[in-house]
Amino acid sequence: MTERIANSEQRTTGAIDVADFSFSYGPRQILNNVSFSMPSKAVTAIIGPSGCGKSTFLRSINRLNDLIPETKHAGDILVDGRSVYTRGIDLVALRLGVGMVFQRANPFPKTIYENVAYGPTLNRLVAPRDLPATVERCLKQAALWDEVKDRLDTPATGLSGGQQQRLCIARALANDPKVLLMDEPCSALDPIATQRVEELIVQLKASYTIVIVTHNMQQAARVSDVTGFFDRGELIEFGPTEQIFTAPSKERTEAYITGRFG
């Protein structure tokens, strides 16, 4: 544990700068000239109506959209001052540093233990004998440990939707990334689990940069330090969460957060 803390002090900060970034699936432009900077060791909330490109934006940061044929991008995204779109960038290293929790839980059809151990095992991040401890720590952080500690060797697909979602959080934490992208991590969770995950987010921000997409305004207000409001592929407003929620400068932002949107 002490070793990890020492490491986290040395490691790079994980700030994300978005410079004039545009993105399109084939002919459909999804993101339009988005520019802003997400501070390191803080929580950035991304809010906006359904289909406005929030998930697309998150997936652009760890370059997961590369997998989809016929996509185009313009502009740049920098993590720690380094462009993620430079030629010859080590995508594995990028994705190890930038973890992701998907909008829809996607556990592997393996055991619970194997799911959490997947990243560290594949990338040999943890010595085999420390693996059980890592799995336990991550499951505890994701508020799932108590529910699954007696059945770690049962299939993850046998978990409930909310449990699967927390399992995917644990799985992402196991890689110990410096940036954590969370796409509606609480969408299938009950209020208690939601609270636990929010506590986790607040606790993690001491050492991680967190970007969270959420449709829950209270949640954005509770956990985030800065908030960006997206609409139809454009960043409408970005600023300190308090300001966005109490004194937004754009009418559209105000309409959205007060529920008078449309």
Ligand X SMILES: Nc1ncnc2c1ncn2[C@@H]1O[C@H](COP(=O)(O)OP(=O)(O)OP(=O)(O)O)[C@@H](O)[C@H]1O
Residue nearest to Mg ion (CB): 55
Size of the site for other proteins (CB under 8 A): 30
CB 205 within 8 A of CB 180: no
Q: What is the closest distance, in whole angstroms, from the C-beta atom of residue 125 to Mg ion in the complex?
A: 28
- Looking at the Cβ atoms of 174 and 257, the one nearer to other proteins is 174
The amino acid sitting at 237 is E
The phi, psi pair for 89, rounded to 5°, reads -65, 145
* Interacting residue with other proteins among 14, 48, 119, 228 (CB under 8 A): 119
Residue 99 contact, options ligand X, Mg ion, other proteins, none, Cβ 5-8 Å cut-off depending on partner type: other proteins
CB 153 within 8 A of CB 204: no
Residue 52 contact, options other proteins, ligand X, Mg ion, none, Cβ 5-8 Å cut-off depending on partner type: ligand X
CB 57 within 8 A of CB 31: yes
Handedness of CA 10, 15, 16, 17 (dihedral sign): negative
Burial class from Cβ neighbours inside 10 Å (0-12, 13-18, 19+) for residue 127 reads exposed
- Per CB under 8 A, the segment of 38-46, 170-178, 187-195, 208-216 that binds other proteins is 170-178
| Pairwise CA distance, residues 37 & 192, whole Å | 32
- Looking at the Cβ atoms of 104 and 151, the one nearer to other proteins is 104
| Site for other proteins contains 109 (CB under 8 A) | yes
| Site for other proteins contains 14 (CB under 8 A) | no
Copy the structure tokens of residue 137.
């720590």
| Site for other proteins contains 99 (CB under 8 A) | yes
Residues that bind ligand X (CB under 6 A): 25, 30, 50-56, 68, 103
CB 45 within 8 A of CB 253: no
- Looking at the Cβ atoms of 113 and 229, the one nearer to ligand X is 229
